[in-house]
Structure 1
């Protein structure tokens, strides 16, 4: 397990650890900021299998960033954490192109970071660019029956009194299962209205986005496939890899298909670097 190697401090004095895995090549082409998934409720920064890390770090520095989790911290805090991590890394690598990469909710943060900062490209694995989505506002059928067995007493035991940046799936997934199954996700993220512009990147804003590599499974039971179609429709320079699978995180376990897609994502970044004038 890769442990965080350094940290930065947020405007409210919270310490955010992150890990830099340097490129194997002596002439790195850029920096990839990785945001983990988990519905903004569970997960940890070091969840990428080593096989994928090896592919990403052939020619790029990889930074595994952390952010505070909901419901202990609200969505505004989470977004600010993501931007703080970007600002810190940008200061460390001022001459390198910086790319944001996220899986699921991490892709949402990767896209929000690209919206607010000068990001050179985005890798979006089964993510979304907005939260005003019918599937996010109503009970998720996959989780509904199971979530009804989770009582307020159980939830209170799982929710911590202090902010946390790492949420093991064993203790945190039941919270996500409950909030999605009972259509309480927005409330637990501290969102007053799902239509707030802070949490929804508009089609007009997507048109100004940097090049974006998108992957999504057609039968995703968690994040609608149509969200990636929406992103691809509006970002002028985007590549959409569609997988005919009934899964959400197709790359959870290392497999040949996933490894191939990671290589394609890196090739996509290579093309951006080349079109922008070569290596840093």
Structure 2
């Protein structure tokens, strides 16, 4: 039995599906019954209702599991505190394998949310757990938040330079790696940077979008403040973290693009951006 945190989210759902495909049984950790239905639909055979800030509910969820997949909530100020608590409780519960979804280049100090992920990584390094740290590049499914606007306006806008090179990964590939690490031996006590081959700036992305959609898509800039307003983000920590992230992308991009590790673990070529877009168009 493997416990998946964030079981009703995009990442958690994908991991559940990958684990079930690998023959594992899954217990999904969710907040409520509505979220439980999503996790069950993804393949979870058991549900643990709880709150990440409630130690008792986490302790109950950990009972009888051999493995854990943990991904933190997005852009929360107490991410490190929650993560360290879960790591320590998993150690006390005798969990055999622990997979943590961190982020590519978690050691970049300018990225506020990366600092918190790095603290959780350090907690794992200090633990006796058989851990695997996954460090994915920017997730390709992030474009879905802009998908309807792209289709309706023919414009793809982001709050950083269109020249910024960005490394990507399809989360379905990351989920497959998580399932491999949790169900097979040889992947413990390690951290893996996961990305597809190459990097793309927004100019190149709109070219691919235009080709895949069969009509012209243009690139446009949007200010960070306007982006935050349109996304209705009001939490001070999240606003600061996202602002720092966009400013960093503006200055340096988010470089990576070496698929050696991901290719080696999957035993195949990772999904490229064009293939991801084609799959998105087909599924819509």
TM-score calculated relative to the size of structure 2: 0.35
More contact order relative to length (CA 8 Å, sep ≥ 6): 1
Structure with greater helix percent: 2
Larger radius of gyration: 2
Provide TM-score, normalisation by structure 1.
Answer: 0.36
